[in-house]
Amino acid sequence: MNKSTLINKARAYCDQRGARFTPLREKVYEILLSKHGPMGAYELLDALKETESGAKPATVYRALDFLLEFGFIHRLESTNAFVACHHFGCHHPVQFLICDSCGDVAEIQSEGLKETLDNQAKAHGFSVSTQTIEAHGLCADCQQAENTENGAHHHHEC
């Protein structure tokens, strides 16, 4: 789905719920959609200032809170950055693959993982409301680049 389709979907989704998808919220969502990786709040603020000169950290945080609440974006807890979600509207379990080299983030839906976690939680009498799993490592491109650089020998980090 392209950016404008997603923005229109998000706007309609807010309308249905009587929430206001303000131009500012839309802009923050658009910036995150344009960048194919996570962004920190201050990085977002800098991008926002290009069009909204009066933007302040509080402005960005309020917009982020709204977008998080509606599931338009996700927050990466481990890096405290934000990334656009391309299939909002359902509070789905989320797993992220975060590349530590280029910073790219892939959102995957690994259903079996949720069942396993839910069942283990249940065994402890625990009910899971939200679940985000963040896996750090190297994406395919960075692994390839690393293998090319290192020739045949791999370095192992403990």
Q: Are residues 129 and 143 in the same domain?
A: yes
Question: DSSP secondary structure string, 58-116?
Answer: HHHHHHHHHHHHTTSEEEETTTTEEEE-SS-SS---EEEEEETTT--EEEE--HHHHHH
Q: What is the pLDDT of residues 2-59, one digit of tens each?
A: 888 889 999 999 999 999 999 999 999 999 999 878 899 999 999 999 998 999 999 9
Q: What is the pLDDT of residues 108-143, one digit of tens each?
A: 877 788 888 889 999 999 998 877 888 899 999 999
| Identity of residue 123 | A
Q: How far apart are alpha carbons 15 and 9 in whole angstroms?
A: 10
User: Which residues form the domain of 119?
Assistant: 92-158
Which of 87, 107, 129 finishes a domain? 87
Which CATH number do you get for residue 144? 3.30.1490.190
Q: How far apart are alpha carbons 122 and 33 in whole angstroms?
A: 36
